[in-house]
Every structure is written in C-alpha cells, then in structure tokens.
Amino acid sequence: MKNTKLIVKTKSKSYPIYFGKNILEQMDKLMKKNIPGVKKICIISDNKLSKILLNKLVRKLKKYDLKIYKLSASEKNKSLKVANKIIEQLLKYNFNRTDCIISLGGGVVGDLSAFISNLTKRGLKFVNIPTTLLSQVDASIGGKTGINTNQGKNLIGTYYQPDFVLSDVAILKSLPQREMIAGYGEILKHSLILDKLFFLWLSKKGKKIIYERNDRLLVEAIIKSCKIKSKIVAKDEKEKNLRMILNFGHTFAHGFEKAKNFSKKLNHGEAVLLGMMIASELSYQKKLLTLHELFLIKNHYIKFNLPRKINKIFKQNEVNKIITYMKKDKKNINEKINLILLKKIGKTTKPKTISLKAKEIKKFLNSYYS
Ligand SMILES: NC(=O)c1ccc[n+]([C@@H]2O[C@H](COP(=O)([O-])OP(=O)(O)OC[C@H]3O[C@@H](n4cnc5c(N)ncnc54)[C@H](O)[C@@H]3O)[C@@H](O)[C@H]2O)c1
C-alpha cells in the first residue's frame, strides 16, 4: 500500500499527517526529518496497548534519551491532577523546548499529552501516534487539547498543533469492535456535515470498513475524513465560527457522556453517533431536513448497526440530567442551548443560528419515551 501525506495548514502552524500500513517502522526517519533537534523524548502511552507495539516504537527511538509514562485511558485521567504529575516528572528530568512528547494512544492520551506539551515550558515538541480509529480521524487533527473537570467534559483546554501525526492502520488491528464503531461515527459525521458523495460511498463500503477492517478502504476513509476536518480547521483554527459545524451531534453527546458519568457503558464515539441521530431527527422536526434524507441517515444506522435509540441507553428519568449538562456546554452564549443541525446531507445550519430553550430540547427528548 502506498504511503500518503496530508499537510494540515493552520494560522499557527503547518504540519504533516502520515498515513499507511506499518509506517511506525519509519518513526526514526520521520523524527529526524520533522524535528531534528530533539534529544529527550517522553512517550505517554495507553497502558492497554500491546507491549509489542510500545517496544517497536522504543526500538525505533533507541538513539534518544527516553522516558515512558503509562496510564489508563479513562476520562477520569484527562485531569489537571494527572497532567500536573507528568509535568512535574518532565521538569525533574529537565525537559526543555527542543525535547519532545510522543502520545501513543487514543483521544484520551492524545488530548492530555497535547495539553502537557503546550503548558510545559510554554511548549515542547509534540508528536501524536493515534491508536484508535476515532483519534486517527478526529482527535489528532486540529490541535484541541482537553481536560475534564467535575463540571463537565473538556472544559479546560488550549490549542496546540503537533509537529507531526503518524496514522498507522496496522495499529487498529487490536482495537475492540465497539471502538471501530465509535471511530466510524466521526467519519460519518464528516460526510454528513460536508460531503454527500462521501456519505453515499460510505453507505456502500461501511461494512468492509467497520466490520472487515479492509486496510485499503480504511486508509481511504481515514484520509478523506482528515481532509474534510483539516479544511475546516485551516479556515477557523480557534473555533470562532465555521469550526463549530464539527460539533454536529456533540452538544447532545457531551450531555449523554456526563449523564453516564463518563462510564464505559457509553463511550465518546457512541455518544456522538446517538447525538447525530437525534440532531438529524430534530433537523427534520424543525423542517430543515427532508424526510427522504432523514430516512437515508436512519437506514445507514440500521444497515451498519450503529447506536441510535436514546431510550435503549437512558431511562426517562435521566433526561433532566442530560439537559443540565447540555446547558453547561462551552459553546452556549446565553441561557439557550446552541446546536448545529442539518439542512441536508452535506450541509449544516450556520454556526450560532440555532439556539433552543432547554425546555424545548427536554420535550423533544421526552418524546422518545411516549
Ligand atoms: N482533541 C480533539 O479534537 C478531540 C476530538 C474528538 C475526541 N476527542 C477526545 O478523545 C477522547 C476519545 O478518544 P478515543 O475514542 O480514542 O478513546 P480512548 O483514548 O479512551 O480509547 C478508547 C479505548 O480503546 C483502547 N485502545 C486504544 N488504542 C487501542 C488499540 N490500538 N488496541 C486496543 N485498544 C486500544 C483504550 O485503552 C480505551 O479503552 C475523548 O476524551 C474526547 O473528548 C478529542
């Protein structure tokens, strides 16, 4: 399979994403090419990954002064407490701005590592090796770092672009099926918000991508998805306006995740899939989306067995909790809840144009239980 490179251009920095199969083998060369001055490296790794994978990376980096920090990829660890602990270690080992942090993990490890890289000595070098489908198509692009608090998800964060990203589909082989579905949710989102042809292509190839993990189609879907996200991020790095369309389904999703207290019962990608289905149904109710297009989306969910029914995941008495957390979303600018809805497949409403009263959203969610 041919390796491919995509350059993500933002106002603050341009950087490459490398795609392919078994490209972790090229890590030493890519380090030298992109960040030649690095001496010390701290690998922050998900402790659930196979030793073989970590050892492979360590072998490729044997010329560097290496530290390894392993942690469990739980939302609870995306915290200031854990960030502070790692920063203290980096300072103790005298990491400076020419030294580097490598994230080896999914979105949890990536968001935390990027945050730490940004804050330590006002910016260390940062390389992301996303190991989940979700992080390959979403979390590793665009430079958002994120920390959770007791008040909600990702409420603390900065923007910090990496020096490069290495996206290797071979790493996805060990990923549980549930996580493949979760990652597919963000691929589907990119098609729904900006590219109907991509949506139609996914409708044909979805099974081979999600369930058969066909390498060639998987790489194709990942690249297409990254191109869509990077195009948006290039125009609006700091989410002043256009980038908000990437939040399609996410305002609901954040409410869902927090209402389940970030438990494994509902992961981020599943919450996003559920949120997008509800946002599509709300788009139809608001007479923005046609019934035909709503059917196309619903059929896609049914065909690929994607989570779509809120009443199967939440009891009705949890709706209030969901609404409480949706009200805390950082994109809200007044008491109302801001949403991105669909006008058609491939086109969303303009950011900041749809804001609904909590009461109205509550009524809509409650309608799933009657
Ligand atoms: N920064 C952004 O722009 C952005 C975008 C989307 C999501 N996020 C964040 O990303 C996080 C979700 O990311 P995620 O879905 O990658 O979750 P994750 O990092 O929690 O990983 C999901 C699960 O897969 C396991 N795992 C990871 N790689 C594996 C592999 N190769 N083989 C086997 N198991 C593996 C992990 O241990 C974990 O149990 C959330 O915190 C979300 O807020 C950030």
Q: How far apart are CA 245 and CA 88, in angstroms?
A: 37
φ, ψ (nearest 5 deg) of residue 311: -75, -10
Residue 144 Cβ < 6 Å to ligand 1: yes
Nearest atom in ligand 1 to 75's CA: 41
Q: How remote is the CA of residue 359 from the centroid of ligand 1, in Å?
A: 32
Burial of 92 by CB count in 10 Å (0-12 exposed, 13-18 middle, 19+ buried)?
exposed
For residue 330, what pLDDT is reported?
A: 66
For residue 2, what pLDDT is reported?
A: 64
Q: How remote is the CA of residue 306 from the centroid of ligand 1, in Å?
A: 18
Q: How remote is the CA of residue 132 from the centroid of ligand 1, in Å?
A: 6
Q: How remote is the CA of residue 253 from the centroid of ligand 1, in Å?
A: 15
Residue 236 and residue 346 in one domain: yes
Residue 317 and residue 217 in one domain: yes
Q: Which residue has the tokens 């042809």?
A: 197
Residue where one domain finishes, among candidates 173, 193, 216: 173
Confirm if 41 and 125 have CB atoms less than 8 A apart: no
**Through-space distance between the first and last CA atoms of the chain, rounded to whole angstroms:** 51
For residue 262, what pLDDT is reported?
A: 83
For residue 333, what pLDDT is reported?
A: 66
User: CATH number for the domain including 309?
Assistant: 1.20.1090.10
Residue 70 Cβ < 6 Å to ligand 1: no
For residue 312, what pLDDT is reported?
A: 94
Residue where one domain finishes, among candidates 114, 146, 173: 173
Residue 152 and residue 209 in one domain: no
Q: How far apart are CA 361 and CA 198, in angstroms?
A: 30
For residue 150, what pLDDT is reported?
A: 85
3-state SS string for 156-190: ECCECCCCEEEEEHHHHHHCCHHHHHHHHHHHHHH
Residue 111 Cβ < 6 Å to ligand 1: yes
Nearest atom in ligand 1 to 144's CA: 1
Residue 254 Cβ < 6 Å to ligand 1: no
Confirm if 116 and 156 have CB atoms less than 8 A apart: no
Residue by residue, DSSP assigns 24-83 as GGGHHHHHHHH-TT--EEEEEEETTS-HHHHHHHHHHTTTSEEEEEEE---GGGSSHHHH
Residue 170 Cβ < 6 Å to ligand 1: no
Residue 229 Cβ < 6 Å to ligand 1: no
Residue 169 and residue 183 in one domain: no
- Sort residue 287 into left (φ over 0), alpha (ψ -120 to 50) or beta: left
Domain limits for position 54: 4-173
pLDDT values of the chain reduced to their tens digit, one per residue, 370 residues? 666 999 999 988 999 999 999 999 999 999 999 999 999 999 999 999 999 999 999 999 999 999 999 999 998 999 999 999 999 999 999 999 999 999 999 999 999 999 999 999 999 999 999 999 999 999 999 999 999 998 777 889 999 999 999 999 999 999 999 999 999 999 999 999 999 999 999 999 999 999 999 999 999 999 999 999 999 999 998 889 999 999 999 999 999 998 998 888 999 999 999 999 999 999 999 999 999 999 999 999 999 999 999 999 999 999 999 999 898 876 666 678 999 999 999 999 999 999 999 999 999 999 999 8
For residue 279, what pLDDT is reported?
A: 98
- Angle, CA 303 vertex, CA 365 and CA 287 arms, to 5°: 40
Question: Which residue, judged by its Cα, is nearest atom 3 of ligand 1?
Answer: 139
Q: How remote is the CA of residue 266 from the centroid of ligand 1, in Å?
A: 13
Residue 253 and residue 292 in one domain: yes
Helices (H) and strands (E) in the chain, counts: 14, 13
Residue 228 Cβ < 6 Å to ligand 1: no
Residue 183 and residue 126 in one domain: no
Q: How far apart are CA 109 and CA 91, in angstroms?
A: 19
Q: How far apart are CA 222 and CA 38, in angstroms?
A: 29
- Sort residue 247 into left (φ over 0), alpha (ψ -120 to 50) or beta: alpha
Domain count for the chain, please give it.
Answer: 2
Q: How remote is the CA of residue 313 from the centroid of ligand 1, in Å?
A: 20
Mark 213-237 as b/e (b = at least 16 C-beta within 10 Å).
bbbebbbbbbbbbbbbbbebbbebb
Residue 357 and residue 214 in one domain: yes
Q: How remote is the CA of residue 135 from the centroid of ligand 1, in Å?
A: 6
Q: How remote is the CA of residue 73 from the centroid of ligand 1, in Å?
A: 7
Residue where one domain finishes, among candidates 173, 204, 231: 173
Instruction: Tell me the two tokens of residue 249.
Output: 């389904």
Question: Which residue, judged by its Cα, is nearest atom 4 of ligand 1?
Answer: 139
Q: How far apart are CA 207 and CA 304, in angstroms?
A: 7
